[in-house]
Structure 1
């Protein structure tokens, strides 16, 4: 009888582990920025600023350190199309916001838009911005990744993908791009020449890509459970994220500044911290969910490291939360 009980307890523990039940819900701090939820939120790299859009409040810029609303930026276009993507530049000075058909650049120092641009080639799937606020990378539904210098008007169409481009990342200086798509490929390429520098093949559609800010590391993740960290200098695999889950689908990803940690967010309200060297999960968190929908749900739109001891999450509930990272 005791052996049966012991085996039953062990089996329950295993089931709990496989179901990912060990996710903390105890954040150290929270900011309720949009009480009715948000369609897009971004965090600056240093986790100081948040830029969010909601139907009720439109576009707002917050200083999280001071817990202060800095600016009400309003709507993006006259039709008041819903903003679904927001990205900061690495230096935090500029941001890009996008609907499915147009995008705007914002100079956050002056709290004003630098212009509005329409895209007619396809629907915008993802977007990224360089530190100058002038260099934009767009991933489109028609398989194109387009790099645009808004000052010179130079436009480079990267045509290596043969299906929808789901995710893009741009180096802070705007010289290097990473794109991943439904064709099971991720490409690291030059925005100056369009030349492919690295190709990373997957068995399934690539849903998420991310660059570490000094260009040493890259993440490519498909819609199965293959999320791989690469050394961009050698093209070799550094690690593969280790998980019991059948799928590792990410809605957000960010490397720590020193590249030792990776934060990922999911469409199912979970954020995880990984060791880039080993691929092992260090922490797991359950972020705030929208309560007025059934069932309750929450998408992690962004994550940012305040330090290697604390990380912030931004969710579709319109809430930013700070979480402790264990030593």
Structure 2
């Protein structure tokens, strides 16, 4: 018996250290696209979902009412695949992007504000301000581009020395956060392109996020360095605690107050963190698309709703609600 205990003890320790206990018991589930989606975004409160699939193209849902609100259709006449969707902080607008063009949508009127093309590189990521007039793009040529659609003003941020992987814009459109393959993330002013904060990583930065009031930022690389920063001082608040060799995020979002951070991975997992300590406080595993091998789904977006839940949206075309521990 003692030999058996000593044999399994290392396994128990490894499981505990890696935090491998992820709940699969959701509180609610919405199967929006049974054949899967290539892009999926949630409003900040988790109520609205904008989903793209090859079969149905762009569809807007109200999850609270479990109701399809509108079929927005194809983004462009060529029906290029949408790979990125972000909904503005106030939930009114959305930006959708293929690799070569992007569109801004007024979700209240369920119609497009316009379609714009990028011809010097491929679009990797995008974000939109609350007024729907300011868009931020991450490009493969090392540029982060800010565009004011109302005035036509375009600013190219050139501090990155390699591909830009991830961007976030403040709700008022005045500040941008970008991260790239050059191991740097920058907080910068969209009016003049001036760098406000510089965050250095040891590996490629693949995910950034801004707290809506500008208090905090997350910068995360493809290793296991995921750091929450105080934007007013530039000081590190916490390092997300993980024993995994890689901690790669496909999405990240702060709660409204910034007290919590929710992240999603390309391998189905959602983790909720306490911002000040960097400790994991909850974890969930999303439902994969039926009959997929391996049984995994990319978590495209996650948000906190008003019922003390996390809402997730994945490549399986499924939205799920997860009850948080009190």
TM-score after normalising by structure 2:
0.98
- What's 1:284 paired with? 283
Decide whether the 8 Å contact of 1:34 with 1:318 is kept in 2.
yes
What does residue range 117-196 of structure 1 map to in structure 2 within 5 Å?
Answer: 117-196=116-195
Shift of 1:295: 1.9
Measured against aligned partners, the alpha-carbon deviations of 1:14-64 in whole angstroms (never above 9, x if no partner) come to 132245431100000000100100000000001110000001111100001
- What's 1:304 paired with? 303
- What's 2:105 paired with? 106
Q: Which runs of 5+ in 1 are unaligned?
A: none
| CA–CA separation in structure 1 for the residues paired with 2:14 and 2:169 | 40
Shift of 1:297: 2.0
- What's 1:13 paired with? 12
Of residues 119-128 and 301-310 in structure 1, the stretch that sits farther from structure 2 once superposed is 301-310
- What's 2:252 paired with? 253
Measured against aligned partners, the alpha-carbon deviations of 1:254-287 in whole angstroms (never above 9, x if no partner) come to 0000100000000001010000010010111110
Shift of 1:101: 0.3
Decide whether the 8 Å contact of 1:59 with 1:75 is kept in 2.
yes
Of residues 271-280 and 19-28 in structure 1, the stretch that sits farther from structure 2 once superposed is 19-28
- What's 2:81 paired with? 82
Decide whether the 8 Å contact of 2:222 with 2:246 is kept in 1.
yes
- What's 2:51 paired with? 52
| CA–CA separation in structure 2 for the residues paired with 1:255 and 1:8 | 41
| CA–CA separation in structure 1 for the residues paired with 2:84 and 2:196 | 27
Measured against aligned partners, the alpha-carbon deviations of 1:150-190 in whole angstroms (never above 9, x if no partner) come to 01011111000010000000000000000000000000000
Decide whether the 8 Å contact of 1:256 with 1:308 is kept in 2.
no
| CA–CA separation in structure 2 for the residues paired with 1:105 and 1:289 | 29
SS in structure 2 of the partner of residue 7 of structure 1:
helix
Measured against aligned partners, the alpha-carbon deviations of 1:122-151 in whole angstroms (never above 9, x if no partner) come to 100100000110100001000000000001
- What's 1:293 paired with? 292
Measured against aligned partners, the alpha-carbon deviations of 1:272-308 in whole angstroms (never above 9, x if no partner) come to 0000010010111110112333222200000000047
Decide whether the 8 Å contact of 1:291 with 1:297 is kept in 2.
no
- What's 1:66 paired with? 65
| CA–CA separation in structure 2 for the residues paired with 1:15 and 1:244 | 9
Is 1:93 equivalent to 2:97 in the alignment?
no
- What's 1:229 paired with? 228
| CA–CA separation in structure 2 for the residues paired with 1:166 and 1:62 | 28
SS in structure 2 of the partner of residue 22 of structure 1:
coil
| CA–CA separation in structure 2 for the residues paired with 1:212 and 1:304 | 12
Q: CA RMSD in A?
A: 1.1
Q: Which runs of 5+ in 2 are unaligned?
A: none
Shift of 1:9: 3.8
Task: Count matched residues.
Answer: 326
Decide whether the 8 Å contact of 2:167 with 2:176 is kept in 1.
yes
| CA–CA separation in structure 1 for the residues paired with 2:168 and 2:11 | 41
Decide whether the 8 Å contact of 2:34 with 2:289 is kept in 1.
no
Is 1:324 equivalent to 2:323 in the alignment?
yes
